[in-house]
Amino acid sequence: MSLTPERAQELLKELEAATGSLFSPTVLPVLLRQRFNPALEGRILKILDAVLRDGIISDRVKFLNDQRRGIVVRDRAFPFERALTDTYVARDLQAAREYLRQFHLDFSELPSATGRY
């Protein structure tokens, strides 16, 4: 069952009011067209987890200086701490974006932002 364009616009307005600026303006229409598909959600979460789990740094020079002195990582998923090794390569924001861009073909079957509901 597809939504009428009028109903889709009503739902988008309600969703935007409920979520505020949490999502890019192009995200909610795609999620609505996909009916908030759990399989799509799982694919997105898997990709985001891969880039966010290790963290993203904002200042590479400061990070490298701190890394030489020693950094201890506390992950709430595990009951223990671990020292960050010198071989760890942190992603800055640009590297994280590039990492995410490599997955754009995984979502090529999704309709464009101007697609139908």
Domains of the chain, residue spans: 1-36, 37-110
Average pLDDT over residues 76-81: 82
Give 39 or 109, the one with higher predicted confidence: 39
Upper half-sphere CA count for residue 10 (Cβ side, 13 Å): 5
What does the CA dihedral 111, 113, 115, 116 come to, rounded to 10 degrees? Answer: 110
What are the pLDDT digits (tens) for 27-76?
778 778 777 777 877 888 888 888 888 788 899 889 888 888 888 878 77
Q: Is 21 exposed, middle or buried (0-12, 13-18, 19+ CB in 10 A)?
A: exposed
Q: Are 117 and 2 in contact (CB under 8 A)?
A: yes
